[in-house]
Structure 1
Amino acid sequence: MMTSPYFVQSSSVVTRSGHQNGAGRTATASLRSRLPDRRRSGAPVCSVEVKVEEQEATISEQRTSSAPSSAGLPELLPQGTEHLKTETNATPLSPHSRRRRQLKVEYDEDGGVSPVKTERWDPPDWKKQLGYIREMRSSRDAPVDNMGAEKCYDTEAPAQVRRFQVLVSLMLSSQTKDQVTAAAMQKLRAHGCTVENILTTDDETLGKIIYPVGFWRTKVKYLKLTAAMLQNEFGGDIPDSVEGLVRLPGVGPKMAHLAMDIAWDQVSGIGVDTHVHRISNRLGWLKKPTKNPEETRKALEEWLPRELWSEINWLLVGFGQQVCLPINPLCSVCLNQHSCPSAHKSSPTKRPKAGSPRSPGAASPLKIKTEPKQESVVQDERKKEEPQHTLVSPATQRRRLKSKV
């Protein structure tokens, strides 16, 4: 049945089955009289209703024109009963002809079509593993808890200065331990960690202040360029969007999402560093292994509930600093050792130094693997190094002894 208000209010209705119901005006007159009124009134009209009604009006016109009529019939019928003869002689269209006349309907937002449901993927036992990680991190005594970006800014400074200090601490933390970053930020705050002071400080002095953070020379350049860009384009404040933050020199997606969370109190994404990247792959929290933190961020955001995006960074970072270490993780004390697919086997073996007897490239005294073109060269070198043992006849040996005597 049609649910359009035009068909409900019309006195003569053309249904999907090809029959007409009601008395009064024909379907064509009803539709034509009501459609302009509705459009002139400015009421919203769904595209589905308009197209279906126009289709029904066209079908009704074709029925009326194709109905047989005899000459002089209007004069013989009483006034007001012309539509009865039309209804009696109208020949319903066959299902095949109606199917060919159907129009392609473009649905609106809802349109009565249910969206295609995609199967949601969740890692096995991830809630149980997350609960165990929370339990192991309950003491909150990891370096990130006491010396992370949330602890490096001056709480008594103006809001604009605090946000800038959060961004600076994130820029200095790249490839640097939290202890070193916290010490550098303490000296920088004592010097004056503001946009104006960074611009007026020469590169040599700024380098001595932040030393020994990783890549400190490059970070001095980035700090100067970022401070100038903030002053010229953002009024001395940091951008309030991920798009604006990643435009700053030396600021990547991880720093941008963390800055949005800490400085602006807005969750825009998951801040994925080397710890989150490593642990997510070890726990099997990804459909397939990822190669870098940015791929891990996108994979985690596909299934991890948004209310956990802010917590997951500091939770996994501290867990990676204390238990799930990059080398030799402490699987024996981890509560997830029975559900983690990488337990007791994820620690990479130490590679011997190049040139040592245990290194992969070192030549074995028993067997040497060479390319076909290098075999002759190696054999020649062996002949030069190995002592020559030749067979000498007894007569030759006696002759040599006589000559020596």
Structure 2
Amino acid sequence: MNSPYFSHGRSVVTRSGQRAAGSRPAGSMRSKLTNSLRTAAPGPSAALKVEAEEARVSEHRASPGGCHEHTDNLPLPSQSRRRQMKVEYDKDEVVSPVKTEQWEPLDWRKQLGLIHEMRSGRDAPVDNMGAEKCYDTEAPAHVKRFQVLVSLMLSSQTKDQVTAAAMQKLRAHGCTVENILNTDDETLGKLIYPVGFWRNKVKYLKLTSAMLRNEFGGDIPNSVEGLVHLPGVGPKMAHLAMSIAWDQVSGIGVDTHVHRISNRLGWLRKPTKSPEETRKALEEWLPRELWRETNWLLVGFGQQVCLPVNPLCSVCLNQHSCPSAHKNSPTKRPKAGLPRSPSPVSTWKIKTEPGNKSAVKDEMTNEGGAVPTPVSPTKQRRRRKTKVNG
């Protein structure tokens, strides 16, 4: 090996194998390369090689990462370490996550506040005969929860007045899991009649009671998933049962009233076709702290003002902001000769006070009009014939 890196001692070994006596170690890389090339191949070609090597060494030394002037202690190439590189990123190049604004209907807070004002009396049927009022307050906790579930099952497609009457008869009979199972279908049907689809509900009550006894120890499930697996129990009943029986807010209980009013007020990004679609759409933007009150608030509002047919838009405080105002209201004007209808303000007072019939009579009497008595079309024809013949 003829590289000066592997030379030992004070002598230099040439390519011919002779040792140059009295030679000293080179003081630099430049001198070592020069001596090696001169000894190996003297002549013009060797001189050119020496000049090329000298130029390369000078360039290597002048470069920023080149060798220092004294390279006696230069480590071997295999022993050199790689320099670590530190990568830095500009703060401006960091891409921040895109924030999307949550959709919410226009003026919904104002509309909700006005509905609260119209529902301040709490005199709608749901307030006095809803599921929160149909259970026995003195019964054990698990019996209370079972009675809440039964009242919700009976309330489907049924008015609150009918549901409350059926629950009163069931409680007198003994509304517990064991009593329902020990009661024959005919007797149970007579107890809950005339609720809507009472024959199917007799089957659902029996099947549900059996599942509660065998799988839940006579109590109702404490989750929406467990409740919806019971026969005859849907998502609306499950969320209401979680709120009333277990005091947990799991979702919005959406029935036909909540479904109808939410679409009329424009509280949905797009119209929905089922209560379950309405529930999911409302939960996307409505604050969670308002989920519990949404059902009883809108149900009572739908029972008194925002009726399914011929809603009372003229007395609704949201008639100027509701996109559906006066679209479904009756458009027929009163016939000539009949007294004028009272103003919206007086009508609203009449609606929220007990004894509506007497209040209507007093209101008409104060305005100077007589209370009209209903006349059948047959009597009207007879009167007309009498006048013509006379």
Q: CA deviation at 1:154?
A: 0.3
- Seen in structure 2, the aligned counterparts of structure 1 residues 187 and 349 have a Cα distance that, compared at 3 Å, is farther
1:343 aligns with 2:328: no
Identity of aligned pairs, percent? 83
SS of residue matched to 1:332: helix
CA contact (8 A) 1:199 1:224 kept: yes
Partner of 2:133: 151
Deviations 1:69-119 (A, max 9, x none): 79x95x6269xxx99x987xx9x89xxxx89xx9xxxxxxxxx97443121
Pick one of 293, 300, 316 that aligns with 2:282: 300
Partner of 1:325: 307
Amino acid of the residue matched to residue 318 of structure 2? N
SS of residue matched to 1:161: helix
What number of residue pairs does the alignment pair up? 262
Rounded Cα–Cα distance in structure 2 between residues aligned with 1:246 and 1:164: 14
- Seen in structure 2, the aligned counterparts of structure 1 residues 124 and 208 have a Cα distance that, compared at 3 Å, is same
Amino acid of the residue matched to residue 227 of structure 2? L
Rounded Cα–Cα distance in structure 1 between residues aligned with 2:209 and 2:330: 41
Q: CA deviation at 1:241?
A: 0.2
Partner of 1:316: 298
CA contact (8 A) 1:284 1:340 kept: yes
Pick one of 171, 192, 215 that aligns with 1:233: 215
Rounded Cα–Cα distance in structure 1 between residues aligned with 2:66 and 2:166: 97
Partner of 2:108: 126
CA contact (8 A) 2:151 2:167 kept: yes
- Seen in structure 2, the aligned counterparts of structure 1 residues 209 and 339 have a Cα distance that, compared at 3 Å, is same
1:265 aligns with 2:247: yes
Gaps of 5+ in 1: 1-66, 103-111, 351-405
CA contact (8 A) 2:177 2:218 kept: yes
CA contact (8 A) 2:134 2:148 kept: yes
Deviations 1:277-306 (A, max 9, x none): 000000000000000100000000000000
Q: CA deviation at 1:211?
A: 0.4
Partner of 1:42: none
SS of residue matched to 1:218: helix
Pick one of 68, 73, 76 that aligns with 2:73: 76
1:287 aligns with 2:269: yes
SS of residue matched to 2:152: helix
Deviations 1:193-224 (A, max 9, x none): 00000000000000000000000000000000
CA contact (8 A) 2:313 2:329 kept: no
Rounded Cα–Cα distance in structure 2 between residues aligned with 1:169 and 1:151: 9
Rounded Cα–Cα distance in structure 2 between residues aligned with 1:166 and 1:324: 27
When the two chains are superposed, the root-mean-square deviation of aligned CA atoms in Å is 3.0
Partner of 2:34: none
Question: Superposition pairs for residues 29-68 of structure 1, below 5 Å?
Answer: none
Amino acid of the residue matched to residue 183 of structure 1? A
1:250 aligns with 2:229: no
Partner of 1:20: none
Partner of 1:210: 192
Deviations 1:40-78 (A, max 9, x none): xxxxxxxxxxxxxxxxxxxxxxxxxxx7779x95x6269
Rounded Cα–Cα distance in structure 1 between residues aligned with 2:231 and 2:189: 17
Rounded Cα–Cα distance in structure 1 between residues aligned with 2:155 and 2:314: 30
Partner of 1:14: none
- Seen in structure 2, the aligned counterparts of structure 1 residues 150 and 216 have a Cα distance that, compared at 3 Å, is same
CA contact (8 A) 2:312 2:329 kept: no
- Seen in structure 2, the aligned counterparts of structure 1 residues 134 and 86 have a Cα distance that, compared at 3 Å, is closer
Amino acid of the residue matched to residue 102 of structure 2? R
CA contact (8 A) 1:327 1:348 kept: no
- Return the TM-score normalized by structure 1: 0.60
CA contact (8 A) 1:326 1:347 kept: no
SS of residue matched to 1:76: coil
- Return the TM-score normalized by structure 2: 0.63
Deviations 1:307-366 (A, max 9, x none): 00000100000000000000000000000000000000034999xxxxxxxxxxxxxxxx
- Seen in structure 2, the aligned counterparts of structure 1 residues 307 and 198 have a Cα distance that, compared at 3 Å, is same
- Seen in structure 2, the aligned counterparts of structure 1 residues 195 and 115 have a Cα distance that, compared at 3 Å, is farther
Amino acid of the residue matched to residue 224 of structure 1? K
CA contact (8 A) 1:198 1:224 kept: yes
